[in-house]
Amino acid sequence: MNYENILTSIDNNITTITINRPTKLNALNKATIEELHHAFAAVAKDKQTKVIILTGIGEKAFVAGADIAEFANFSVEEGVQLAASGQEKLFNFVERLKVPVIAAVNGFALGGGLELAMACHIRVASDNAKMGLPEVSLGVIPGYGGTQRLPQLIGKGRAMEMIMTAGMVTAEEAYRTGLVNHVVAQADLMEFCTGIAQKMMKNSPMAIGMAINAVNANFKEGENGFDTEIKSFGKCFGTNDFKEGTTAFLEKRKAVFSGE
């Protein structure tokens, strides 16, 4: 499929999805959210892809927020639908993917941009990146999961401060609080993310998918993460990857996983 707002490429089982709206600092609008949903859904079904890296075009912004002009005149009902639709199509969708997603945060990640990075499984920031949730300065709150995921990552107190001051944090501050996993020079960002992806690809895709689901379960209302872990652990015993992994270990060779 040809996209207007994103670019996709695959190399050595790593698919890179790049948000490509440089004149808008890669801001998210409805069309971009739709394209991202389609791209993630397609890549998740592609057995060639073992890891996804998500980034923004250029050196200024990962995603500098939502396209405010699109919703400035929305009604209450339209606002509810905007948040519900966006969360389901993109943010929750990315979080639930069984293929690991690494956010390569290459600049500003503000509002919906930070929310998108937080929906990814791992975040790596370039040293020039700045992150924040400025929504309250516009008379609204984060609507794409920001009030939920930010406290999970950095704690309630710090999240409250970031949200209520509408302030930005540097990449180093984000690293110190656990918002990002690593900070690297911008020139090294994609290579560093590729290195993490290559480490992941040595392991069982099936087990990685189950691990993502089990970790997420701890944060779902009404779901017991320990129960999910136990059931998922048991399911692993019936998979080809488990048989291959344990056999390879006993035979003192590298495992070759099929993802099944």
Q: What letter would DSSP give residue 18?
A: E
Which of 70, 77, 115, 229 does the annotation list as catalytic?
A: 115
Asked whether 37 and 25 are in contact (CB, 8 A), the reply is no
Asked whether 112 and 94 are in contact (CB, 8 A), the reply is no
Between the alpha carbon of residue 4 and those of residues 11, 36, 71, 95, the distances in Å are: 21, 11, 21, 24
Helices (H), 25-182: 30-45, 76-86, 92-96, 112-119, 146-154, 156-165, 171-177
> Which tokens sit at 78?
């339209």
Q: Determine the Cα–Cα distance for residues 215 and 22; give it in Å rounded to an integer.
A: 34
Is 77 one of the catalytic residues?
A: no
Q: Determine the Cα–Cα distance for residues 181 and 245; give it in Å rounded to an integer.
A: 28
Q: Is 88 exposed, middle or buried (0-12, 13-18, 19+ CB in 10 A)?
A: exposed
Which of 4, 77, 78, 135 does the annotation list as catalytic?
A: 135
Is 115 one of the catalytic residues?
A: yes
The catalytic residue positions are: 115, 135
